[in-house]
Structure 1
Amino acid sequence: MDALMGNAPVQHVLQTTVERLGNVQGFRRHSYVYTPGQPAHALYFVQSGQVSLQLLSNEGRVLTLKVVEPGQFFGHSALEGSGAYDTYAQALLPVRVVAVQSTTLREAVATTPGLASALIDMLGQHRLAVSRRIDEVAFKSVPARLASVLLEMSGDQPESNQPRQRVPRRTHQQLAEMINAYRETVTKVINQFRDAHLLDIDRSGITLLNLSRLRELSQS
């Protein structure tokens, strides 16, 4: 499945290589970069816009694994040898990406110092992030899942002493899809978080006001 958080050294090596070897592509809002079953031929780097990586259940419910922001990668199936993508990658906004063929990346490993290590690190982080998301959906309550995804979106580091963090704005429906819950339930929990002074919302985004309490909730 296709998502990445990534650290700075990994990000730099991969971004430099992809932008040097890849091709720029554009996608309209709500269009699909790829769908499950399509040949996994390229890794993508987002230059602008947002891409939602989604799973669809047999009952038709959507689970959003990640919303990929500018500066992040998706399309990891191209590196895993599975042959096909296993998620929907949908443009939430007009998107500009750089796509690099998986065969091109493999050839570049021989001539680009640090690329092989960067790809291995990226895939490891990706697998961990996907596993964590699925475990949360299976075993955690809605408040715990919402707290966890908000912290993840903020880039929160447990050792950080920052009292608050800013999170990009998401609709209640998008948040619901990210934690496999109903929109009405997410709205109720957001209102509870706001009443408890855990977060505040305005037109431009969400401000997390009590990171330590949100961390506690995310583990409950």
Structure 2
Amino acid sequence: MAYLSAMKIFQDLSQEELKELERSISMVSCPAGRVFYVPGETGEVLFLLKKGRVQLYRLSPDGRKLTVKILEPMTFFGEMGILGQGMHDTFAEAMDDCLICVMSRRDVQHLLLSKPTVAMRICEEMAARLMERERQLEEVVFKGVLPRLAGLLLRLAGETDQVSGYSHQELGEMLGVYRETVTHALDQLKAMGLVEIHRKRIKLLHRDKLADIAKQ
């Protein structure tokens, strides 16, 4: 039950309410590469991510991935399939081996009607994701690859000085560019003395200078 209380959307629930919620949830293990849903598919469940990472993405006409969001543990996905339009608008794929908790449409609807604070938290997260998409679109239109990559590295690193667990291909999918383009841009940042590049790990050497590039 501790994992439920760690999820922001359930943080206002009491211990008794969390116990009741847990009884309506089933947990499954999913291997990396598992596709949970595709665009246009009707949603019947809400997914709660307990362990692993999940990539939400769209496909271009030529089959390239454009990452909408990388989900970390203790969040949810699949809400568009059971709320609003009733259909999913992205692909959702496990990047790692994942532990997923599943709630049925009926149980979710009952929860939202009986616990308005949960509905509010879900709306807050949906609004934040919409703002993130708008930022992505703005950057694609107005910024070059190097500033976008610098900004992405800073966001992925958070308060740390390194980005771990992402291949050049995955970074490219997050920026909507080819892997080779990311590799070239990383080499530029390395030549400027701003990053060190290792296998699936990038060390940020000068956050302030990367921030300046991200603003260009």
TM-score (normalizing by structure 2): 0.82
Root mean square deviation, CA, Å = 2.6
Aligned length: 206
Matched residue SS, 1:176:
helix
In the alignment, what sits opposite 2:167? 171
Are the counterparts in 1 of residues 112 and 119 from structure 2 also a CA contact under 8 Å? Answer: yes
CA contact (8 A) 2:39 2:89 kept: yes
Work out whether residues 144 and 218 of structure 1, in 8 Å CA contact, stay in contact via their aligned partners in 2.
yes
Any residues of structure 2 matched to 1:51-62 within 5 Å, and which?
Answer: 51-62=54-65
Do the aligned residues in 1 keep the contact of 2:195 with 2:203 (CA within 8 Å)? yes
Partner of residue 106, structure 2? 103
Q: Could you say which residue in structure 1 is the equivalent of 2:205? A: 209
Preserved CA contact (<8 Å) 1:35 1:85: yes
Partner of 2:25: 22
The match for 1:161 is none
Contact 1:18 1:100 in 2 (8 A): no
8 Å CA contact 1:78, 1:102 repeated in 2: no
Q: Is the 8 A contact 2:35 2:91 kept in 1?
A: yes
Counterparts of 2:150 and 2:35, CA distance in 1? 29
For residue 128 of structure 1, report the CA deviation from its aligned partner.
Answer: 0.8
Alignment identity in percent? 29
Unaligned runs of 5+ in 2: 1-5
CA contact (8 A) 1:14 1:118 kept: no
Output the amino acid matched with 2:214.
Answer: S
8 A contact 1:27–1:96 mirrored in 2: yes
Offset, 1:171:
0.8
- Secondary structure of 2:69 counterpart: strand
Tell me which of 85, 92, 97 is aligned to 2:88. 85
- Give the Cα separation in 1 of the matches to 2:137 and 2:193: 28
Structure 1 residue aligned with 2:3: none
Inter-CA distance 55–113: structure 2 relative to 1 (3 Å threshold): closer
Deviation at 1:76, TM superposition (A): 3.1
Residue ranges of structure 1 left out of the alignment (5+ in a row) = 1-7, 157-163
Matches within 5 A, 1:1-220: 10-13=8-11, 20=22, 21-78=24-81, 80-112=83-115, 114-155=117-158, 164-203=160-199, 205-220=201-216
* In structure 2, distance between residues paired with 1:137 and 1:111: 41
The letter of the residue matching 1:130 is R
Secondary structure at the residue paired with 1:181? coil
TM-score, normalization by structure 1: 0.81
Q: Structure 1: how far apart are the matches of 2:182 and 2:150?
A: 11
Q: What is the distance in 1 between the residues matched to 2:165 and 2:21?
A: 28
Decide which structure has the larger Cα Rg and report it.
Answer: 2
Q: Is the 8 A contact 1:13 1:114 kept in 2?
A: no
Superimposed CA distance per residue, residues 138-169 of structure 1 (whole angstroms, 9 cap, x where no aligned partner): 3321112212222222235xxxxxxx533222
